[in-house]
């Protein structure tokens, strides 16, 4: 069922320590007005850097790039979570130079960075908007792993057909995977890699559907409809406090950006 968050007139609810869980994606993608097409989330659009959304644009380095650029017009002390995100990005890049993008430690660091970025968006909205936290989250946590998956799938498809190719793909980090001895082995590896890729896309879709609903619950509805479990909606309402007073913000730009990411993810998940 398509539902929008309730009107933001209720009193703030007490926060709880347990974050809302993710749920599998179901249904079709919501329409995105103003989208530039299938590549609109490549590698991540932003108001201050429109070129970042064009195919062929060079992805930035996330929070580190925003820090070097000095951020946007926001003026004030940086929240501790920002320094935490910078450190987590640094550690993630260091691990990626030594290990596969799907190594358990790399995945753990990526998940921790995702949690920090999400906490910045919902706890320090103006700061996160000025410092491009949402595009940084998309690039570091979702876009780059997606590109690595696609590179490996393409290489394995070639091997499965008997072609000579490097399974790691161009630009793959960490140690090279072991060679495959036959097209049959390549097909088996292709099935495993494709399955992991589709599960990753499912998790990304669930995250952004939840984020669209949660943004409108916290900062006020902008009319975006997403297919979200009623149980998860209730859990967000019970666990996540609404913004009021100085914390209130217009999240329209953030919701629109998430819808663009959802459209891109749906396109990639469609056979």
Asked whether residue 46 is assigned to any structural domain, the reply reads no
Answer yes or no: are the C-beta atoms of 255 and 212 closer than 8 Å: yes
Q: What is the mean pLDDT of residues 44-58?
A: 40
Residue 112's CATH number: 1.25.40
Mean pLDDT of 220-234: 92
The predicted pLDDT at position 250 comes to 86
When pLDDT is averaged across residues 127-156 and rounded to a whole number, the result is 96
Is 163 domain-assigned? yes
How much is the average pLDDT of 36-52? 44
Spell 87-124 as b/e; 16+ CB within 10 A means b. ebbeebeebbeeebbbbeebeebbeebbbbbbbbbbeb
Structure confidence at residue 161 (pLDDT): 84
Q: What is the mean pLDDT of residues 244-270?
A: 89
106-123 pLDDT, tens digit per residue, is 999 999 999 999 999 999
Residue 178 in domain: yes
- Token pair of 58 as six digits: 């060079």
Q: Is-above-0.75 flag for pTM?
A: no
Which domain, by its residues, includes 253?
77-269
Mean pLDDT to the nearest integer, 217-243: 92
CB 253 within 8 A of CB 220: no
pLDDT band at 74 (very low <50, low <70, confident <90, very high): low
pLDDT value for 159: 87
SS (H, E, C) 180-232: CCCHHHHHHHHHHHHHHHHHHHHHHHHHHHHHHHHHHHHHCCCCCCEECCHHH
Could you tell me what percent of the chain has a pLDDT over 70?
Answer: 63
Report yes or no on 4 lying in a domain. no
Task: Name all contacts of 196-201 with Cβ < 8 Å and 24+ positions apart.
Answer: 196/102, 196/149, 197/146, 197/149, 197/150, 197/153, 198/269, 200/145, 200/146, 200/149, 201/146, 201/265, 201/268, 201/269
Note whether residue 153 is domain-resident.
Answer: yes
Establish whether the linkage from the previous residue to 43 is cis, with ω within 30° of 0.
yes
Whether residue 40 lies inside any domain: the answer is no
Phi then psi dihedrals of residue 270, to 5 deg:
-85, 125
pLDDT surpasses 70 at 256: yes
Does the pLDDT at position 40 exceed 70? Answer: no
Whether 70 and 84 have beta carbons less than 8 Å apart is answered as no
User: Cα angle at 222 between 221 and 224, to 5 degrees?
Assistant: 100
Total number of domains in the chain:
1
Residue 119 lies in a domain: yes
Q: Is residue 3 part of a domain?
A: no
């Amino acid at each position: 069922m398509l539902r929008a968050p309730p009107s933001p007139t209720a009193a703030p609810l007490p926060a709880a320590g347990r974050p809302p869980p993710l749920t599998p994606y179901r249904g079709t993608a919501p329409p995105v007005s103003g989208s530039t097409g299938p590549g609109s989330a490549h590698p991540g659009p932003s108001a201050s850097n429109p070129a970042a959304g064009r195919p062929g644009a060079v992805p930035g380095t996330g929070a580190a790039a925003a820090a070097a650029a000095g951020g946007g017009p926001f003026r004030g002390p940086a929240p501790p979570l920002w320094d935490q995100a910078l450190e987590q990005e640094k550690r993630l890049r260091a691990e990626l130079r030594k290990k596969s993008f799907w190594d358990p430690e790399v995945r753990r660091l990526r998940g921790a960075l995702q949690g920090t970025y999400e906490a910045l968006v919902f706890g320090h909205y103006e700061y996160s908007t000025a410092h491009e936290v949402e595009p940084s989250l998309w690039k570091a946590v979702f876009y780059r792993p997606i590109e690595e998956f696609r590179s490996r799938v393409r290489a394995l498809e070639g091997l499965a057909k008997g072609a000579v190719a490097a399974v790691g793909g161009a630009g793959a980090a960490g140690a090279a995977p072991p060679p495959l001895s036959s097209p049959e082995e390549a097909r088996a590896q292709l099935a495993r890699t494709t399955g992991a890729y589709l599960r990753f896309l499912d998790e990304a879709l669930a995250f952004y559907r939840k984020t669209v609903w949660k943004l409108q619950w916290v900062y006020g509805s902008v009319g975006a409809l997403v297919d979200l479990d009623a149980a998860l909606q209730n859990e967000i309402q019970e666990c996540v406090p609404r913004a009021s007073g100085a914390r209130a913000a217009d999240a329209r730009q953030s919701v629109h950006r998430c819808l663009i990411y959802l459209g891109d993810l749906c396109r990639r998940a469609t056979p």
